[in-house]
A = this chain, B = another copy of it.
Amino acid sequence: MKTKPKRNSWREKIHEIIYEADTPAGKAFDVILLVIIFLSIIFVMLESVKGLDPWIYNYMYAAEWVITILFTIEYILRIISIQKPTKYIFSFYGLIDFFSTIPLYLSFLIPGSSSALITVRALRLLRVFRILKVSRYIGESNKLIKALKDSRPKILVFLFAVIILCLIFGTAMYMIEGADSGFKNIPVSLYWCIVTLTTVGFGDIHPVTPLGQFLASIIMILGYGVIAVPTGIVSAEYSKSEADENEQKKLSTNTQSCYHCHENTHLDGADYCQNCGYPLNREK
C-alpha cells in the first residue's frame, strides 16, 4: 500500500480510541461504554420501581456516582482530543453527552430535584445510537436502513392514506357511537381507529351499538387487507437491496473520523479526509 500519514500526538491517539472503532483499543472503548450506558439505563428503570429493599436504592445511588464520574472523564477527553471542541460541544451528540453527564451534579446543587432529573437521565438512551457503529452487524443494519430509506416515499404515501382513512372512520364512529360508548370526541375516536386499524385492539374503547360494530368490522377487514401493503413494499425493496449488495461492497465506509474537521464518512482505504484533506489515522 501507499505510505501512511503518521500520527501526530497523544491527542490524536485518544481521538482514535474515542471516536473510531477500527483499532482494538477503539473497539474495547466502545464496548465498555456500551455496557456502562446499558447499566445506567437499567438503573434509571429500576429507580422508577417502588417498594424494593432500601439497600438497592443506596447501591444504585453509588453506582450512579461512578457512572457520572466515568461519563465526566469521557466528556472531557472528547473535548480535549478534538481540534475544534466547539464543533463537538454543540453537535447533536455533544449535547446528548453533556445532558447525560450533568443530572447528578444538578441534583447536588439543587436539592430535591433528583426525581425530576430522571427525564434528563433517560436521554442517555440516545447515546446508544452513536455507539452502534461498533456492532459487527453494522453491514446488516445498513442494509435495513437502506431498504427503509428507499421505501420512504411509498411508506409516506401509505401512512397518509391510513391517516385519511382513520379521520373518515374516526369521525363516522364518533357520530354512530357517541360519548356513551367511550367515543367521547373525535380525537379519541381517531385514536380508537388507529388502535383498530393497526390490529392492536386494546379494548379500552369498543363499539357497543350494532351499527358501530358493523362499521368496526369493515374497518378491521380493511386493516387486514391494508397491513399487507407496507410488507409488500419493504419486501420488494429488501430484495432489491440484497441484489445491489455486491455494488455496495465496493463502496463501503468505515468508522474513521477526521481529527481535524470531525467528518466521519470515509471510504475504506481512504488515507486523507474527504472533507478537509487532513491525514486519517489507520492501523493494520
Q: Which residues of A contact B (CB under 8 A)?
A: 41, 44-46, 48-50, 118-119, 122, 125-126, 128-129, 135, 137, 140-141, 143-144, 147-148, 153-162, 164, 167-168, 171, 174-175, 184-188, 190-191, 194-204, 206, 208, 210, 213-214, 216-217, 220-221, 223-225, 227-239, 242
Given A227-B227, A238-B236, the answer on whether A144 and B157 have CB atoms closer than 8 Å is: yes
Docked pose: A231 CA to B199 CA in angstroms: 15
Interface centre among A195, A204, A224 (most CB of B within 10 A): A224
Q: Of all chain B residues, which has the CB nearest A136?
A: B153
Flag if B231 contacts A232 (CB, 8 Å). yes
Docked complex Cα distance between A49 and B189 (Å): 11
> Are A195 and B201 in touch, CB under 8 angstroms?
yes
CA distance A3 to B122 in the complex (A): 65
Contact A232 B229, CB 8 Å, known A49-B187, A141-B157: no
Which residues of the other chain, B, contact A228 by a CB distance below 8 angstroms?
230-231, 233-235
CA distance A125 to B193 in the complex (A): 16
Contacts of A190 in B (CB 8 A): 45, 217
Copies per complex of this chain: 4
Q: Which of B167, B196, B206, B232 contacts A125 (CB 8 A)?
A: B167
Contacting pair B236 A184 (CB below 8 A) = no
A188: B residues at CB distance < 8 A: 210, 213
Contacts A49-B187, A119-B175 supplied; 16 other A-B pairs, CB < 8 Å: A41-B167, A48-B174, A125-B164, A135-B157, A141-B157, A144-B154, A155-B225, A191-B213, A195-B201, A195-B216, A197-B224, A200-B223, A227-B227, A227-B231, A231-B231, A231-B235
Q: How far, in Å, is A133 (CB) from chain B's closest CB?
A: 13
